[in-house]
Each structure stands twice: as C-alpha cells, then as structure tokens.
C-alpha cells in the first residue's frame, strides 16, 4: 500500500483451514453423493470462502480491489475450474490462473491447457502461470512457452508464426515431412528475435 504496488493474495488448497473444510464437508455429507464427490464439493466451497475472506481482510487493512490479484492454488482440473468460476461471480478482484502441481511432460502440459483453456475461453482470468515439473537438466523456460502457446491457441495473443504440419497417415511414407516440420519450427524459433525487432505485429 505504501508503494502503490499490486499485491497477489494466494490461497493454497494444500493448507486450507480444517475448520472451514470440515464445515463445508458436513454440509454435503447429508446428500446422496459419493464420499469423493462430497470432498470435492467441500474443497471448492472452502477454497472460495477462504479466498473471499482473504480479500475482505486485505480491504480492512486498506488495500483496494484494484490493487489485488487473487490466486487459488489447486491441483485438480475440475476443482480449479469450479473455484475460479465461483470467484469470478462473487468478486471483482483480478484473478491469477494456474494449476499447481500439474506434473511433468505431456501430462502437465495437457492438464494446464485444459484448466486454463476452459476458463480463458469464458473470459475468466487476468494473469496466468503454468507450473510443470521440468525434466532433469531442463530449466523452467518451457513453462513460459506452454503459457504462450495456450494464449495463442485461443487467439488471445500472438507470439510466433504457427507451423502447420501433417501428422502422417496411410498416404505418407518415409520421414521427410517430419524432418521438414522440425527444421521449419526450429528456423522460426531461431529467427523470432530478429523478427520481433523488425515488426510490431508480434506481441512479446
């Protein structure tokens, strides 16, 4: 508040107040649904309640909604989508989207793309973060590339030309098209720095 900078308020699903969670779980235990569904619904409700309570606390300390970015960290796609949909309905605070502990490799990419894509397509979310466990020896820049690809796939931003290539079928033989697609993609990546300097068409 002193320096007029925005503050990210984070609520972590792994450290929810057990009292809040148990109260929500008791509410759903009276219904005719499975234990797993009870826990999931209770988790979503507890996350939303805790997030909104954190916003109110920040407001009492003098922080306005315009300077808040709310993050609700969950590791399951369905629960994350439900939490953020409710937060978008109940609050005007900017929302920071991210599926925490998404995993590594293709699994992490797919889960992040599913969760972020569903919300962004509905106009929910102001900032995003992709959290993927890197392979041994890799740095974390791959997370940025995945985040960029998600935004570009939805038509929200443009970062690089899209290389369209054939996946292969019964009409193809050999691996020429695979080598060609890889070479073109690599050439595009290598030239992006130069292209960004020479044109304003591509967003950074």
Reading the block at residue 172, the tokens are: 């193809």
How would you classify the pairing of strands 68-73 and 7-12?
parallel
Q: According to the model, what pLDDT value does residue 200 have?
A: 56
Domains and CATH numbers, the chain: 7-157 (3.20.20.20), 160-204 (no CATH)
Are 43 and 76 within 8 A, CB to CB? no
Are 75 and 57 within 8 A, CB to CB? no
Give the angle subtended at the CA of 88 by the CAs of 60 and 125, to the nearest 5°: 105
Q: What is the DSSP string of 160-199?
A: S---------TT--SSHHHHHHHHHHHHHHHHHHHHHHH-
Q: According to the model, what pLDDT value does residue 204 have?
A: 43
How would you classify the pairing of strands 68-73 and 127-128?
unpaired
Q: According to the model, what pLDDT value does residue 32 have?
A: 78
26 dihedral zone (left: phi>0; alpha: psi -120 to 50; beta): alpha
- Residue-wise pLDDT tens for the chain (204 aa)? 678 889 999 999 989 999 999 999 998 887 678 889 999 999 999 999 999 999 999 999 999 999 999 999 999 999 999 999 999 999 999 999 999 988 888 999 999 999 999 999 999 999 999 998 888 888 888 899 899 999 999 999 988 777 777 777 766 677 777 888 888 878 887 777 776 666 655 444
Q: What is the DSSP string of 24-48?
A: HHHHHTTSSS-HHHHHHHHHHHHHH
Q: According to the model, what pLDDT value does residue 170 have?
A: 65
User: pTM, whole model, 2 decimals?
Assistant: 0.83
């Amino acid at each position: 508040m002193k320096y007029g900078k925005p503050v990210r308020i984070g609520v972590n699903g792994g450290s929810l107040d057990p009292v809040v969670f148990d109260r929500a779980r008791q509410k759903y235990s009276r219904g005719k649904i499975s234990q797993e569904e009870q826990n999931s619904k209770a988790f979503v409700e507890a996350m939303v309640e805790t997030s909104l309570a954190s916003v109110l606390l920040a407001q009492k300390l003098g922080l306005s909604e315009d300077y808040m970015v709310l993050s609700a960290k969950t590791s399951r796609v369905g629960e994350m989508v439900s939490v953020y949909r409710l937060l978008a309905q109940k609050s005007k605070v900017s929302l920071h989207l991210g599926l925490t502990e998404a995993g590594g490799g293709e699994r992490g990419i797919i889960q992040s793309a599913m969760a972020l894509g569903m919300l962004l397509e509905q106009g929910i979310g102001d900032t995003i973060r992709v959290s993927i466990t890197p392979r041994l020896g890799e740095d974390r820049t791959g997370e940025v590339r995945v985040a960029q690809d998600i935004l570009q796939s939805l038509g929200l931003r443009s970062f690089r030309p899209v290389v369209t290539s054939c996946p292969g079928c019964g009409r193809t033989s050999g691996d020429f098209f695979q080598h060609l697609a890889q070479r073109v993609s690599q050439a595009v990546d290598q030239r992006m720095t130069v292209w960004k300097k020479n044109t304003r068409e591509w967003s950074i």
